[in-house]
Amino acid sequence: MFSTLSPGALGLDLDHARAVDLAAAHGFGGVDPDLGHLRALGPSGAA
Query: Is the CB of residue 27 less than 8 Å from the CB of residue 9?
Result: no
Percent of the chain with pLDDT over 90: 53
* Total count of domains within the chain: 1
- Cβ contacts of 2 within 8 Å, gap of 6 or more: 28, 29, 30
Answer yes or no: is pLDDT of 35 > 90. Answer: no
Which range marks the domain in which residue 20 is found?
4-46
Confidence of residue 5 (pLDDT cuts 50, 70, 90): very high
Confidence of residue 34 (pLDDT cuts 50, 70, 90): confident
Answer yes or no: is pLDDT of 45 > 90. Answer: no
Q: Quick one: pLDDT at residue 2?
A: 86
